[in-house]
Amino acid sequence: MMNIRQAYAQCEAVTAHHSKTFYRAFSVLPLHDRNAIWAIYAFCRRVDDIVDEGTQPHQQLRQFEKQWESFLGGYTENDFMWVALRDVFSRYDMDAEPFSHMIEGQKMDLTVHRYDTFSQLLRYCYCVASTVGLMLLPILAPHRREQLKESAIALGEAMQLTNILRDVGEDIARGRIYLPREWMSVYGVSEQDIAFGRVTNAFIDLWEHIAQKAEEKYTYAEAAFSLYPLSARFAVRGATLMYKSILHVVREQQYDVFAKRAFVSEERKKALLQQIGGENVEVG
């Protein structure tokens, strides 16, 4: 079986490579906690990559789900992600349900390419993003999981709505439109407008309407942040500030989410962490 240190190191490398924002925010945690975070990220990344980059995504996702079921049955494959995740499940009082819901959300991406209503979209956001927050609660706030559950769900929804608003161009290239049809109709934005990358006043109004919903959910989630232990609070607050900043970057780029990807610069990330005193939190 793979050495646990090597397994965690590979999970960390996956996290650092694929999500600099996530990696930077949670690097402030003590060693065992951040290792657990990297393992959970690697799980989420693995299943997400199957859907977005897999050569046979339906078959590969079924195989991944079987591996997950085997994991729950006590079997651990000699693969860095599963090895690390087994150690996480042995150290923390983990809940398997959000991991299963994450897989359910990824299945949706293989079969559902349009959403009629905002409530349908929120279900998707819960499955692919709020579940991550629920996975992390046993690590970040083991004694206040129930108190923080709704905050974690709202934060995940806000972050996924932010992803959707940032990635409109990338998603249409994959044949997906996540902007709810009911609101596209209200604002007069057509699928053709999205396909041709038209940044019209109507598109901007639609984008801002969804951004407002995301910002409302950030505000709701933030109201409970004081319940997190201090080091976890810095991590969650830092991740939240950096993610919210993506919306500001899109605005600065005149809402062009088709020709360029909005990202938060390292300078801005550093300033945001300084804003909450993040650089004064020791890394364990």
Q: Residue 88's pLDDT band (boundaries 50, 70, 90)?
A: very high
Strand pairing partners for 177?
114
CA distance 182 to 187: 9
Domain range list for the chain:
4-280
Name every residue whose Cβ is closer than 8 Å to that of residue 133 and which is 6 or more positions away in sequence: 152, 153, 155, 156
pTM of this structure: 0.92
CA distance 111 to 108: 5
Q: Residue 67's pLDDT band (boundaries 50, 70, 90)?
A: very high
| DSSP 8-state code for residue 176 | -
User: Where does the chain have alpha helices with state H?
Assistant: 4-18, 20-26, 31-53, 57-72, 80-91, 97-111, 118-125, 131-140, 145-166, 168-173, 181-187, 191-195, 201-222, 230-252, 266-275
pLDDT at 169 over 90: yes
pLDDT score for 283? 37
pLDDT in tens, 189-240: 999 999 999 999 999 999 999 999 999 999 999 999 999 998 899 889 988 9
CA distances from 238 to 3, 112, 241 (A): 31, 32, 5
CATH 1.20.58.110 fits 4-280, yes or no: no
pLDDT at 264 over 90: no
